[in-house]
Structures are given as C-alpha cells and as structure tokens.
Chain A
Amino acid sequence: MKFFISWPVHPPVKPIKMNQFLTFVQKEFYHIFRDRWTTIILLLLPVVMLILFGFMMTTEVKNTRVAIFDPSRDIATQGIINKFTTSEYFIVEGYIDHPREIEALFRKGRIGLVLVFSERFHENWMHTGEAQVQLIADGSDPNTASTLTMYATQLINAYRQESLDLPQTPLQLTPEIKLLYNPTLKGSYNFVPGVMGMILMLICAMMTSVSIAREKETGTMEVLLVSPMKSIQIIIAKVVPYFFISVINLTTVLVLSVFVLGMPVNGSLGLLIFISLIYIFVSLALGLLISSAVDRQMVALLISAMVLMLPVIMLSGMMFPVENLPGVLRWMSHVIPAKWYMIAVKKIMIEGLGFEAVAREFVILCSMAVLLITASVKRFKYRLE
C-alpha cells in the first residue's frame, strides 16, 4: 500500500492536503484488508448469489403431476391422456377410482391437476356434443393454477382439432406473432437484472454502513475528528476502497450474467458499466448515510441488511411488477434506486437501447447520489456528544 503515499500529485496546488487525503484512503484500505475473511466474503458473496438466484428464479411451469378420473376409457379420453403424457408440462401420475379421492390427494400436495372425464365420453362427444372434461387444479398458488389450466386447455383443444381433421376453413385471419427481445420467453431475462441490482445494492450498503459506526463504537472517531480533515473528505475517503471492491464485484457479476446465465449485451457495454458505477456510488452513499445516522455497528448492519433487504426485494419490481402496485406504494417504489437501475439494465442489455432511452434513469440515479452524499455529510457530526 506504500504506493499511495508516493503517488505524484499532479496539480500541486495543495500538496499537503492531497497527501492527507491519500493517507486516509490508505487507512480505510487497511481497515478492510486486514480482516481477510470479510474480504473473501465480500468478493465471493455476489458470485454465489448471482449463480444461485439466476438459475433458481423462474416461474416457468414444468413437470406437474396429473391424476386422472376416467370412467369412459375410450379412444377420445385415451387420445387426450396421450397428449398429456407427451407434453413436457405434465407427468401423468395415475388413475383414481372416484372423484372423492381428489381432496385427499391435493392435501398431500403432490398432485397439481386432476382431469375428470364425463361418462361415455367419445360417444357423447360425437353424437350429442355434450362431452365434458373438468380440469380441477390446486388453486393455492394462483399463478401455477391458471397457467396449468391454460396449458391443459390448449392440449385438449389441439387434440380436438387433430381428431376432427377440419378442412381448410375459408376466410382465415391469421395472427402473426413476433416476440420482441426474448423470443424463447426465458424467465432469466426478467429476473437477472433484478438480482444484479439487489446484490450490488445490498452488498455496497452493508459494506459502508459499518464504516463510520465502527469508528464511533471503537472510539477511533475522536482521532478522526481532531485531524484537520473536513467531513466531506473523511466521507469520500471512506467510499474509495469500497468503491474499488464494488468495481471488482461489478465485473464478476457482469461476466457471470453474460457467460453463465446467458444474458445478452445488446446495447453498449460502456454505457452499462457507466450507469452501474453510478448505481454503485448511490448504494455506497446510502450505506454511509445509515452509518452516520446511527451509533452502533449492529444497528447499522441490521438496517442495511434486514430492513433494506425487504423493500429492495418487494418494491423494486424485481419480483413483482411495479405497475401492479397500489398508489402509495408505487410512490414509495420511486425512491428505491434498484428499481431505476433495473429498468436501465433491461433497456441496455436486452432491448439494446442507447443513452437517450435511459436518460431519465441516469438523471434520477445521479440526483440520488448527490442527495445521499450531502445528507450523510450533514448528518456526520463534527463534535462528540
């Protein structure tokens, strides 16, 4: 770390001040790197989290177990059941003997859907047209349930189309569907930007939130306060090393999301990095504000980890679409930096848009950075109580 002191200071206007500042930065580096375990954790955590969550978070529905009640056992029911057997969405678990068993079956939580055919299915279908198939889904998870019935309805309709072998219908109006940006409907495109935002935000805020509170707790704050440094300098010196670690983390996060999770970078990489750096600065500044507002490390960490984690997950739009939020909460979501970062990342990485498209997010994140740094300088008490 010697090189920090011997760095040539280029505009030698106030050389002494600049040296002091660098010494402070160096001191902060010592604080971090002398605790080897914390450093390792700080660098490994984003890697593990991004890989785990990137693969885990998906709402695609596959391999649901299906039970069947079929009193008819004719070619039509068999045909429909075959459709289910060959579909990747369903696994046919077996037949049940009576609809009464359904309730007990669901209570065990293994079966997701039960097909109940009416009697004399094929015969009725061909003659009276009154064949019925009930799709009884476990509605406890509404999303899965409605997706399942949608898939099942599609399969049954497909069977009907094939078996009737309808002649080419006249007057055909065909919809031609184009899926923009994500034609294979990968869940990761939606979730990975959110996971990136969450990881960077929480780790940055947690790192810096300890910094000032620890000095207060261990009593070294007094030493800082008698130094000729201004509070803004003390605060900036605290940010520098954490910014350095965050840049390493950003690199690993970006590399992993592209090469392991298969995210595209359709827009400019430079712009992506630039906006990420601003976001990191916002997160670090938020941690500093927490740190200067409380007196104890434990409280600072609990606020930055526990209290911050919940709104970042719930309100940023990472899990739940922001447009579904009721009025007041939508306003609350505007103050969450992760939300804006996520929007910008999606625009740059997936939609491949340029700076114009993310100008709004850029301005918001910059103002947040300025606001938070100013607030933490103000909160930073220059006197001991």
Chain B
Amino acid sequence: MIKYLIEKEFKQFFRNTFLPKVVVALPFFAVLIFPLVANFDVGHINLSIVDNDKSPYSAQLIQKVASSGYFSITDVSAGYAAALKSIENNTADAILEIPGRMEATLVREGTAKVLISANTVNGMKGGLGSAYLSSIVADFNAHIRSELMQVKSGRAVPALNIVPMYKFNPRLVYKVYMIPAIMIMILAVVGGFLPALNIVSEKESGTIEQMNVTPVSKFQFIVAKLIPYWVAGFVVLTISFLAAWVFYGLLPVGSFVTLYFFTSLFILAISGFGLVISNYAATIQQAIFMIFFFIITFIFMSGLYTPVASMPLWAQQLSIISPLKYIIMVFRLVYLKGSTLPDLAVPFAALSGFAVFFNGWAILSYRKKN
C-alpha cells in the first residue's frame, strides 16, 4: 500500500510545475552566486584627506597611505567640513586630517598630531580602517625618526618575532568557508518549506478527508510524505556539490559518503519539522508564516553568517535547538578539515535525535479525525 502512497506523493509533486523547478534551480544559482556575495573582506577603505600642512612630510605620509594597499584616496578636501560631507554621502569611510604646520611642530617641539576620523556605523570596517591608518602613521613616524636622529640610542630594541599561521585555510579564502553552509541553507529551505505546505494544502483542497477514510496508518502516511522530500534533498545536494566543484573547484577534504550520510539525517529532521507545522496549521498562510519564522531563526542561530561564539550566552544556549547548527558544523569540518565519523559523534547524536523527535511528533500530531 505504501508504494501507491509514495507514487501519489510523487505525482502531486511533479504535477505542480513550480516545485521541480525550484529543486533544480535554487541550489544551482545559490551556489553559483552567493559565494561571490559572501565576502566580509574590508577590502578598500575610501579615504578623504585634508592636508593643511602641505609640507614634504605630509606629502610623504600621504604617499605612504596611498601605497599601503588598504586605502583608496577618493578626495583631497579643503577642510574637515568638506571631508565630513563625503563621509555623509558615503563616498568616504575615513578622514585623515593633517594639521597645519605639522612638520614644523614635529621638528621643533618633538611631538605633533594627526587626526583620524572613521565612520563606524559598520563597526568592523571603521575599527579596522582607523587601526590600519594609525599603524601607517606609526611606521611613518619610525621612519622619519631614524632619518632625523643620526645618533642612535646605545641599546637596540629587541624585537619579538610574531608569526601568524592559519591552519586548514592558509590563504584565508572566505568562499571555502561559506559554500558548504550555503548548500545547507538551500537544503533547509527546500526541505523545510515544501513539507510544511504539503498536508495543509491537502486540508485546503479537501483531499485530506479522502485520506482519512482510507485504512492508511498514520505511520505510513507520514513516511510516504517524507520520501519525496528525501529524494529532492539528495537532488539539491548533488547539484550543489557539482556546482561547487565546477564553478569554484571546491571538493571536500573528507569524504562525500560522510556528507551524504549526515544530509540524509538532516533532511529527515527538517522535513519532519515541516510536517509537524503542516499538521497544526489550518491554512497555507499560517503554515508558511510559521515555517518561515523557524527556518530563518534556525539559519541565524546556526552560525552560518555570524559565529555562534560571538552571540550572547543565552543565544548560544538557544542555538542548540537549531538542527542547522550541527549540519553546518559537519559540512564545514568535512569540507575544510576532513573530519571523519568519530570526530562527528556529537552532531550525529543531535541530528538523529532531531530526526526521531520531529518525525515521531509528526506521526502523533496527525489526526485522522476532525
């Protein structure tokens, strides 16, 4: 009997002209486009310069800033007010203001100031920009000091040799980190939204009553509903793998078998969750609002965009209820570090738990009577 039920579900799935297209097009375009977007790099900081000194030193300093590679000098303003205007227009991110007679004061009095103002609405960019600028100023300072002071102090300053090294992603490519997570995002969207609409749309069109008068058991009913999404999930995943490989040359360090294995658990969990919502919702609209809320919350809690470790403690504790957190962890570990099943015991236990819990709930909450 279950065979016919599954056949029915597949027919319903393909009869809808929109759904099969989504399953194919969404992962393809998402994996193609989103890695280009997902880029937190603070590449170019646009700088507005106010040079009130116009001395050889200020020219040298500006030259040093321009050649540092972090900044592109967008304008040389006449005064601070004009520079502030370009910050307000978003054409500049920071201002370097060299006060009048900077060189003269420095040589005569031994100290001088330069002023750095940064737009910190984007805290990361503003903070980094001002840090880069002040380290350039410090460099420049050291340079002119050694130039001016022929007599060096007796004792050399012992330097500490600090060597940063990055494991697993030595060139710090952000794409490698994001692509596995983007795959999961698409998987969650497809595997969560579609089942959430399934049972409730049978309720709206009235066909659920026909189901209810058949001798089909709750268990068979839910299993038959799950299987098409399970298959769809594998299609989504395979397309994502291919796209990541073809467009970005990205292959996991670990094995595909591990990834498929964990995905099969994850789709069961998230689709089970979708079916639970579908059971409780009375209209398609209610269902979609609920699933939208949960999927988007799961996504933001999962560490996909912002690291879980940065969140406040209560949010970190709350994030254990997001199945996405575990599967994204698995994908990133397998893709970047080549972790194997023994390393992944915790996510395995969590995802199996979610799968059993949500599907159990879906079976129990499906009522054959009104």
Contacts and interface: CB of A to CB of B under 8 A. Distances in A.
Contacts of A153: 162, 164
Interface string A23-63: 00000000000010110011001001100110111111111
B159 A176 contact: no
Nearest to B61: A173
Interface string B116-138: 11111111111100110110011
Interface in B7-66: 16, 18, 22, 26, 30, 33-34, 36-41, 43-44
B160 A133 contact: yes
B337 A106 contact: yes
A169 interface: yes
B67 interface: no
B311 A172 contact: no
Interface of A is mostly: helix
Interface in A173-210: 173-183, 185-187, 189-190, 202, 206, 210
B111 to A, nearest CB: 5
Interface of B is mostly: helix
Contacts of B185: 310
A23 B269 CA distance: 46
Contacts of A297: 204, 284-285
A106 B288 contact: no
Interface size class for chain A? 35 or more
A304 B339 CA distance: 38
A181 B120 contact: yes
Contacts of A369: none
- Scoring A106, A307, A324 by chain B CB atoms within 10 A of each residue's CB, the highest score goes to A324
B157 A166 contact: yes
A90 to B, nearest CB: 12
B197 interface: yes
Contacts of B118: 177-180
A68 interface: no
Interface string A328-368: 01000000000000010011001101000100000000000
B19 to A, nearest CB: 8
A67 B285 CA distance: 51
A173 B121 CA distance: 27
B3 interface: no
B256 interface: no
Given A106-B337, A177-B118, A329-B36, A59 B307 contact: yes
Interface string B171-188: 011101100000001000
A371 interface: no
Nearest to A210: B285
A35 B285 CA distance: 10
B365 to A, nearest CB: 16
Contacts of A42: 289
A146 interface: yes
Interface in B328-364: 329, 332-333, 336-337, 339, 343
16 contacts: A106-B337, A132-B160, A133-B163, A141-B307, A142-B166, A149-B164, A170-B149, A172-B111, A173-B114, A175-B116, A177-B130, A299-B16, A305-B292, A310-B185, A314-B34, A321-B125
Given A61-B307, A107-B343, 11 more contacts: A37-B282, A37-B286, A52-B301, A132-B160, A139-B167, A142-B40, A173-B137, A174-B112, A176-B114, A185-B124, A187-B124
